[in-house]
Amino acid sequence: MAGWTIRRAADLVAAPWRNGLGTSREIVTRTLPDGALGWQVSIAELVQDAVFSDYPHCERVFTPIAGDPPPELAFDGGGFAPCPVLVPKRFPGDVPTLSRIPAPGRAFNAIADRRHYTIEVSVVPVPGSAAAPDPAAGEVVVYCHSGRVAVGADLLGPGDTAIGGDEVRPAVTGEGTILVVAVRPA
């Protein structure tokens, strides 16, 4: 599909978190002209309690995609609260954040420098046919969580991702659940 990039789950490589306390698999990263992080989408492996990496000037959207019971987060010294699977949780990336992991799992992470971008994450069931998201002059990431979905002519299975911009708005068809990230200039 013209203008879209497909990232297969099998091609994602595990790398350490910024703070070295865990690993994640990067789906896409965009940098600013000075080389700093503009925005990023990745899959984190949740295997032990950990402190989240600090992302100054950034907003994070943390969406558990596996784990039963689900992970819990605590912000700035507060109490822990559960983060249900497939429910996006937005918070500042520069606030001290602790995770408690009662069972191994994974999380879909979207991070953006709030001075340059806005970032939204939606969980969308695809029961047959749905319109593709309108990125409004930004970029869109479509992650297949479950089932099989087609973004235009490209078939995605669990863990596969389509990344594109506003130049093409393909239909999303099939059966499954997708996570859609819309990134727009601030």
CATH of the domain at 41: 2.60.120.10
**What is the per-residue pLDDT across 128-172, written as a single tens digit (0 to 9) for each?**
655 555 556 589 999 999 999 988 888 999 999 999 876 556 678
Could you tell me if 82 and 149 lie in one domain? no
- Boundary (domain end) residue, out of 67, 93, 113: 113
Residue 134 lies in a domain: yes
Residues 99 and 175 in one domain: no
Q: What is the mean pLDDT of residues 42-61?
A: 95
58 and 142 share one domain: no
Residue 41 and residue 92 in one domain: yes
Do 88 and 121 reside in the same domain of the chain? Answer: no
Instruction: Give tens-digit pLDDT for 103-115.
Output: 999 999 999 999 9
Quote the domain boundaries for residue 64: 12-113
HSE-CB for 69 with a 13 A CA cutoff = 9
Q: What is the pLDDT of residue 134?
A: 58
Closest CA to 144 of 48, 43, 71, 72: 43
4 part of a folded domain = no
Same domain, 105 and 131: no
How much is the pTM? Answer: 0.92
Q: What is the CATH number of the domain that holds 159?
A: 2.60.120.1030
Do 98 and 156 reside in the same domain of the chain? no
Number of domain units in the chain: 2
Mean pLDDT score of the chain: 91
